[in-house]
Structure 1
Amino acid sequence: MQSDPKQCLYCTNNQTLHDLMIEFAQLSVSRAFLFKEQTYRGRCLVAYKDHVNDLNELSDEDRNAFMADVAKVTSAMQKAFNPEKINYGAYSDKLSHLHFHLAPKYVDGPDYGGVFQMNPGKVYLTDAEYAEMIEKIKANL
């Protein structure tokens, strides 16, 4: 399914996007966001800069650059929060804009050893706490 860029929350930079996440960096070919729902402490998302449906639609150069951006963010997350593992999710059944969910997992934390929940709706922070998390990630980018 190919979605219309005019209806895409990443392309339109709409209120739904701002309700879900906070943009904290523009990388070589993508944008990085911190999820507001923080059940998985440090959870981020990396979205490709243009409206494409899948990795296979990118040139080798752009695909490699996108994956380098994803790796750069996960490396910063690892240094900032020291999770046991970071889970990657690339789901686009309903929104066909190329993006990766990056969910840190902790041994004694939620869903360790299983699949992370898309939006558990349990843990929200103050603006100051979001800013502190973003600074920790950005310091390691």
Structure 2
Amino acid sequence: MKSDPKNCLYCQNNETLKSLMIEVAKLSVSRVFIFKEQTYRGRCLVAYNGHVDDLNLMSDDERNAFMADVANVTRAMQKIFNPAKINYGAYSDTLEHLHFHLIPKYEDGPDFGGVFRMNPKQVYLTDEEYAQMAEALKKEL
């Protein structure tokens, strides 16, 4: 890994992170966030607690615990938002910290059958709507 945890938005929990997402819960080895840009209704992100940038750098137990957290979040998302499919995106080439984007896709929604856009900057919710979404996720987790 090349990056320094002192420069990592997940490790530092900095203002850039807070401008992009809202922390919802701490799980066994990760944190779950609601992505503020909601073109894909219910979009979340799960970030590993340790500063690692790839699954292959983790022990089997660490990887299994992280993937269990990811699966728990997608189960909650499926129950709450009822998407046709949830897409998983794990990119660490510019932000070297293991995290999964969890993108609900709807048959009548944007980019169904294609690749999601990272941050289309089109749909933002009210504070109350984010709070309701966060509460629903916490309840299911």
TM band (smaller chain): over 0.9
Unaligned 5+ runs, structure 2? none
Q: In percent, how many aligned pairs have the same letter?
A: 74
Question: How far off is 1:135 after superposition?
Answer: 1.2
1:25-104 residue pairs with structure 2 within 5 A?
25-104=25-104
Give the TM-score, by structure 2 length.
0.98
- Determine the C-alpha separation between the residues in 1 that align with 2:53 and 2:5: 10
1:64-84 deviations in whole A, cap 9, x for unaligned? 000000000000000000000
**Alpha-carbon deviations, 1:41-65, whole Å to 9, x = none?**
0000000001001001111001000
The residue number in structure 2 matching 1:13 is: 13
Root-mean-square deviation over aligned CA pairs: 0.7
For residues 117-136 of structure 1, the aligned pairs below 5 Å read 117-136=117-136
SS of 2:24's equivalent? Answer: strand
Q: Using the alignment, how far apart are the partners of 2:40 and 2:103 within structure 1?
A: 6
Counterparts of 1:50 and 1:2 in 2: how far apart (Å)?
A: 14
Q: Which runs of 4+ in 1 moved over 4 A?
A: none
Q: Report how many residues are paired.
A: 141
Which amino acid is the alignment partner of residue 36 of structure 2?
A: K
Aligned equivalents of 1:83, 1:117: Cα separation in 2? 17
Name the structure 2 match of 1:105: 105
CA distance in 1, matches of 2:137, 2:109: 20
Q: Which residue of 2 aligns with 1:138?
A: 138
2:24 is aligned with what amino acid?
F
8 A contact 1:21–1:36 mirrored in 2: yes
CA distance in 1 between partners of 2:93 and 2:37 (Å): 21
Where does structure 1 lack aligned partners over 5 or more consecutive residues?
Answer: none
TM-score by length of 1: 0.98
Checking the alignment, whether the CA contact within 8 Å between 1:28 and 1:65 is kept in structure 2 is: yes
Q: Is the 1:2–1:53 Cα contact (8 Å) retained in structure 2? A: no
